[in-house]
Copies of this chain bind each other. A is one copy, B any other.
């Protein structure tokens, strides 16, 4: 168990390193922080901290930098979440209030997060499976070609074209549309498959039954599986900012960010409630082993419908970043609830 002062030393090291981006030595520490002890004492504490694996020195005659384990301790026990300043809050409001549709909300959120944290922002679209259906529309594009449009309570709109095995009359179409809507409106999207599974049987014409089956199968499958998760990222230019000591590190990060699968997994690993901070090697993807990911769920009600977060260097301002992420998530939730 580390003494109170040693924790204080660790906190000071983290803060200074985050600020200066340079290894911090015992003398500099005592000058910048009121620890009430001499550099020599700090050195002893540092030796202990290093032995325990919380800090390390890049070279023998250099200062110390925090390790992943050190950051972990810092985040868990030494740092709070820094609330945003009033101007910052106002900026969030102003910026998000102008959004006209879901794409716009997500887009603005990404830009906002990237700007506030000066890091890379990732925002997931509200998940379909956790949303409820607001409306289902069926359009006939051609005699044997339909388009299904699906609108969720979070404002998300998905559409898909389906080629039917046989022409499908306007009457049958209106019929199907009505029956579909009466069954699924207001229900959670995840429940839709079983809610509609008996629909084909209720049609008399064999041809219609076939069509309805095909349509439902294709659509549900496509919608649920392929377009389940979408996301938007932004602020990649910020990578260049902190990449100046790691010009070679930027490459794998950019590659990871291009793979939506990786990002979705990243967000998926986050806790369902509360904020999640994954530091350095705690991230499964090795391209991200020198980055930290701060993520949190957001939603229109009490329940999270999706997640958002930022990706930055392990050497980041955790309290500030966490504050920004949390604040943005809350406001986005409000916006969604209002729309």
Contact = CB atoms under 8 A, between A and B. Distances in A.
Interface string A157-170: 10111000000000
Interface in A229-278: 234-237, 239-241, 243-244, 247, 250-251, 254-255, 257-258
Given A141-B135, A160-B100, A226-B100, A251 B258 contact: no
A151 interface: yes
A275 B53 CA distance: 58
Contacts of A243: 247
A334 interface: no
A234 B258 contact: yes
Contacts of A147: 135, 151
A246 to B, nearest CB: 10
A282 interface: no
Nearest to A256: B237
A270 B157 CA distance: 33
A159 B101 contact: yes
A44 interface: no
Contacts of A326: none
A161 to B, nearest CB: 7
Chain copies in the assembled complex: 2
A151 B141 CA distance: 9
A239 to B, nearest CB: 7
A149 interface: yes
Nearest to A236: B254
Nearest to A160: B101
A336 to B, nearest CB: 13
Interface string A135-166: 10101010000010101000101011100000
A221 B235 CA distance: 29
A258 B137 CA distance: 35
Contact of A254 (B101, B135, B240): B240
A134 interface: yes
29 contacts: A100-B226, A101-B159, A101-B160, A101-B161, A134-B141, A135-B139, A135-B141, A135-B147, A137-B137, A137-B139, A137-B149, A139-B149, A141-B151, A147-B151, A149-B159, A157-B157, A234-B258, A235-B258, A236-B236, A236-B257, A237-B254, A237-B255, A237-B257, A237-B258, A239-B254, A240-B254, A241-B251, A244-B247, A247-B247
Interface of A: 100-101, 134-135, 137, 139, 141, 147, 149, 151, 155, 157, 159-161, 222, 226, 234-237, 239-241, 243-244, 247, 250-251, 254-255, 257-258, 339
